[in-house]
Amino acid sequence: MRSTEPPLTRARVVTRTTDVEEGSEVAETSVREVVMDQAMLVGAPVIGLNDSGGARIQEGVESLAGYADIFQRNVMASGVIPQISLIMGPCAGGAVYSPALTDFTFMVRDSSYLFITGPDVVKAVTNEDVTQEELGGAKTHTTLSGVAHGAFDNDVDALITLRTFMPFLPLSNRENAPVRPCDDPWSLSLSLSLLRTLSLIFLSDSVVTGHGLINGRVAYIFSQDFTVFGGSLSSIHAKKVCKVMDQAMLVGAPVIGLNDSGGARIQEGVESLAGYADIFQRNVMASGVIPQISLIMGPCAGGAVYSPALTDFTFMVRDSSYLFITGPDVVKAVTNEDVTQEELGGAKTHTTLSGVAHGAFDNDVDALITLRTFMPFLPLSNRENAPVRPCDDPWDREVDPELCHQGDLCCRRCLDINSSVKGARFVRFCDAFNIPIITFVDVPGFLPGTAQEYGGIIRHGAKLLFAYAEATVPKITVITRKAYGGAYDVMSSKHLRGDVNYAWPTAEVAVMGAKGAVSIIYHGKGDISEYEKEYVEKFGNPFPAAVRGFVDDIIEPRTTRKRICMDLTILAAKKLTNPWKKHANMPL
């Protein structure tokens, strides 16, 4: 039997409608089969407007066979053409399975229902009083069962919004996804703004995930919602985050996490903890493969703190974001220490003391805007070279003193525990993502003192050395003034496979400063001021290092930029590998 009505080819969309007033849906099953076959033949979506009481009892098994034929076509069409079901009334019995097999199922609030058996049967079997809405209404299936993907206020709203939704779908698997200009200021492709337009309610748990474009480049995002169970992590929450991270690694694009979570969902017990472990595992697997950025936009406690700590960059918002394993109440109970949230894990604490966060912003908007400015500096993945952009800013511009701290504010420019760890982390990130490393050196050595020694300055300083020595990307070093002792070696010296090492005429490359060196060499010889002058004359310049080939050239400061640009062009083709190993044993 063939349908006498031609398919709706103007929009290349084939629709099927069931009318409950005609008794049931199954009398029209053969028509539906023809419609679905035709849709697959021409490569066009199928939209079902469902309103059916189930199988026609009078036809017995023939009616059931009709359902089976439809289900078979649902399965065969899956992944070939988009299938959309719009539930416009009660659908019971076998009528519920076809919508469940389609790609998208939408419902109408207070008038559409999906259930296998109705309230009367439920009452007879379980003695449970339940209404149609409670048993299979739109709220039930969009927030609990997950059968439906969205709900609308009425039939007209559903149909109008469906017309808005259809252009986002390809006609079939033979066609690429539709491409449209993204003129909105944030260039998001489908995520939150679209869902708000459609008035859809998705079973999103306490996290929203998606992808979009930032300055024309793909990025994957997950955003925890503190208004839903305090942003706590459930198994569904974890699965959504894991899925978006897997997809990001698959296509090679950064992952941005907007973190605002109270920790594990206690009600789910070990399943919630397992969800955290799954995320941590993906953080580790993605490390060095795709950039990972965490933006802390509210309180994050318990297990929620470890994922940001595993990412490449962590940023916070002042006075509203917090990171701590245990909150002030627990600290008070265990240690009897009175401390506020801000003191325990605020932005100031983690950017100036713990080093967990890399920067802080005044508010959420400032954080998001700055993040958009930051992203173009990163490659999409380790398979991509570092971004290249024209440098047409004036070469003779005035140097802004706010760009860097003055020496007197930085422990006299010495390397300490914190600066060593910070530098090592940065160098390893650059090496992982093919970003050349340019090092300007003015360091008299490592900071002395018992606090540094007890804190493990040797081990932490070795991290920075290890990072430079292991790096295979282009490395250019400019010694501007002091390069003394072990700090000279550590800071990308020629001996650590530095590609190009320059020195300014003001550079001093020596074992130590003149006063300390002379006090050791000429110990007990009275006035040693003359010896200091002699030491400075002999070692307080870059020439001994240049003669020995440890410095490639002594350059005028004004030529530094030009020389570095030329060297980066030459070193772009650099190929260097380390000996094969499972992994190195970095001094952690």
Q: pLDDT (tens digit, 9 = 90+) per residue, 201-241?
A: 345 688 999 999 998 999 999 999 888 888 889 988 999 99
Residues 414 and 503 in one domain: yes
Q: Which residue has the higher pLDDT, 142 or 357?
A: 357
CATH code of residue 105: 3.90.226.10
The residue among 174, 103, 115 whose CA lies nearest residue 144 is 115
- Across the range 145-164, mean pLDDT stands at 89
d(CA 522, CA 9): 98
Q: Does 197 fall in a domain?
A: no
Do residues 133 and 211 share a domain?
Answer: no
Is residue 64 in some structural domain?
A: yes
Task: Report the C-alpha gap between 560 and 439 in whole angstroms.
Answer: 12
Is 109 within a domain?
yes
pLDDT of residue 399: 66
Closest CA to 97 of 119, 73, 79, 123: 73
pLDDT computed for residue 533 by the predictor = 86
Joined tokens for residue 535: 């030491």
407 and 554 co-located in one domain:
yes
Domain match, 223 and 300 both? yes
The DSSP code sequence of 157-177 is HHHHHHHHHGGGS-SSTTSPP
Based on the domain organization, do 308 and 363 belong to the same domain? yes
Task: Sort residue 520 into left (φ over 0), alpha (ψ -120 to 50) or beta.
Answer: alpha
Q: What is the pLDDT of residue 181?
A: 66
User: 73: which residues sit within 8 A by CB, 6+ positions away?
Assistant: 33, 36, 37, 40
- Name the catalytic one among 487, 514, 517, 546: 487
| 263 is a catalytic site residue | no
User: Residue 228: CA atoms inside 13 Å, Cβ hemisphere, count?
Assistant: 15
Over the stretch 452-467, which tens digit does the pLDDT of each residue have?
888 888 889 899 999 9
374 has a pLDDT exceeding 50: yes
State yes or no: is 486 an active-site residue.
Answer: yes
Establish if 173 belongs to a structural domain.
no
Instruction: Report how far residue 568's alpha carbon sits from residue 564's, in angstroms, rounded to the nearest whole number.
Output: 6
Which one of 168, 193, 221 terminates a domain? 168
Q: Which of 303, 445, 461, 498 is catalytic?
A: 303
Confidence of residue 195 (pLDDT cuts 50, 70, 90): very low
Judge whether residue 19 has pLDDT over 60.
Answer: no
In a domain, 431, yes or no: yes
- Of 143, 168, 193, which closes a domain? 168
- Residue 180: band (very low, low, confident or very high) from pLDDT cuts 50, 70, 90: low
pLDDT digits (tens, 9 = 90+) for 57-77: 666 566 677 777 887 788 788
Active site residue 487: yes
- The model's pLDDT over 75-127, given as tens digits with 9 standing for 90+, comes to 788 888 899 999 999 888 778 778 888 889 999 999 999 887 788 877 877 78
159 and 294 co-located in one domain: no
Phi, psi for 322 (deg, rounded to 5): -145, 145
With a pLDDT cut of 90, the percent of the chain lying above it is: 46
Average pLDDT (285-306) is 94
| pTM across the whole model | 0.66
43 an active-site residue? no
| 408 has pLDDT over 90 | no
Ramachandran quadrant class, 445 (left: phi over 0; alpha: psi -120 to 50; beta: rest): left
In a domain, 196, yes or no: no
Average pLDDT of the segment spanning 240-246:
95
403 compared with 134, residue with greater pLDDT:
134
Q: Does residue 515 or residue 335 have the better pLDDT?
A: 335
Catalytic residue among 275, 302, 445, 461: 302
Q: Are residues 222 and 144 in the same domain?
A: no
DSSP 8-state secondary structure symbol assigned to residue 230: G
All residues at 6 or more sequence positions from 143 whose CB lies less than 8 Å from its CB, including other chains: 201, 203
Q: What is the pLDDT of residue 77?
A: 81
The answer on 213 and 160 residing in a single domain is: no
**pLDDT value at position 577?**
87
DSSP label at residue 210: E
Residues 367 and 472 in one domain: no
Burial of 12 per CB tally in 10 Å (0-12, 13-18, 19+): middle
Number of domains in the chain: 3
Q: What is the mean pLDDT of the chain?
A: 84
Residues 122, 252, single domain; the answer is no
For residues 496-519, give the mean pLDDT.
90
Q: Are residues 107 and 237 in the same domain?
A: no
3-class DSSP assignment, residue 215: coil
| 449, 553: one domain | yes
Residues of the domain holding 353: 207-377
Residue whose entry in the numeric block shows the structure tokens 């350059």: 555
70 falls within a domain: yes
Which pLDDT value is given to residue 506? 94
pLDDT bracket for residue 280 (50, 70, 90): very high
The domain boundary, picked from 168, 184, 199, lies at 168
pLDDT band at 45 (very low <50, low <70, confident <90, very high): very high
> pLDDT for 425-439, tens place per residue?
999 999 999 999 999
CB atoms within 10 A of CB 491: 22
Would 255 be classed as within a structural domain?
A: yes
